[in-house]
Amino acid sequence: TEKRLVDSEKLTAVGQLAASIAHEIRNPLTSIKGFLQLMKQMKGEAKEEYLNILSDEVSRIELITGELLVLAKPQAYDFQLINVGKIMEDVVTLLSSQALMSGVDIHSNIEALPEMKGIESQLKQALINVVKNAIEAMPNGGNLYITVRNKGGAIVIVVKDEGVGIPKEILNKIGSPFYTTKEKGTGLGMMTTAKIIQTHQGGFEITSIPNQGTKVKITL
Ligand code: ADP
Ligand code: MG
């Protein structure tokens, strides 16, 4: 038997991912270094503004590395009996203040579900990513419809917004690492969500109409 260690296609993909991760983390690091340098030269002046910037940049690195950790291979023992409806309820509660601030009304309809085997922390993160995107797509408010249904053994989750939508030519870029149209986005949410759904052998579909809204359907 032979194992090819030099698979150039795989290595190119790894190289590209490594380069983009390094780039995304180096930006805030460079800014942290610069501000630390400036602060060294200051004597007893108001440093609060700089401390805020430092803290924001550190948070950004934390966010990016936290999202990438999901890509690590899960262990068999990470899978437990979980209730997806309960997880979605938690997610709605967690994001309710953000929704309120954007004038988004969340209408959720969550059926009683059988338990399934899954990784709770991962599925919660996946649902947070999807619901957060839906809220962020409606900066001027709107309705957000969430349903979780038990359809003949499968769990079907639909998150539908009335937001900006996604133009057709952009739809296939979504889920590529670091692809974002937001000023402060990481562009990691959809990639990690897709990875999590794949880990759970589920399905993940996005349909969207620009200026009307987006529908995300997850099947588990
Ligand atoms: P981020 O939210 O940090 O930008 P994501 O991977 O979560 O990264 O999303 C990538 C991009 O996909 C977003 O920047 C946005 O352009 C688009 N997108 C995702 N969900 C929606 C949605 N519900 N409505 C409109 N655009 C969306
Ligand atoms: Mg997002």
* Phi–psi pair at 174, nearest 5 degrees: -70, 130
Q: How far is the CA of 135 from the centre of ligand 1 (A)?
A: 10
Residue to mutate, 133, 136, 161, 197, ligand 1, most ligand atoms under 8 Å from C-beta: 133
Q: What is the pLDDT of residue 3?
A: 67
185 Cα nearest atom in ligand 1: 3
Q: What is the pLDDT of residue 99?
A: 97
Q: What is the pLDDT of residue 8?
A: 72
Instruction: For residue range 59-82, list pLDDT tens digits in order.
Output: 999 989 988 888 777 888 889 999
Termini Cα distance of the chain:
37
The percent of residues in the chain predicted with pLDDT above 70, rounded, is 95
Scored b (16 or more CB within 10 A) or e, 113-139 reads beebebbbebbbbbbbbbbbbbbbbbe
Residue nearest to atom 11 of ligand 1 (CA): 180
Query: From the CB of 85, is ligand 1 less than 6 Å away?
Result: no
**Does the interface ipTM go beyond 0.85?**
yes
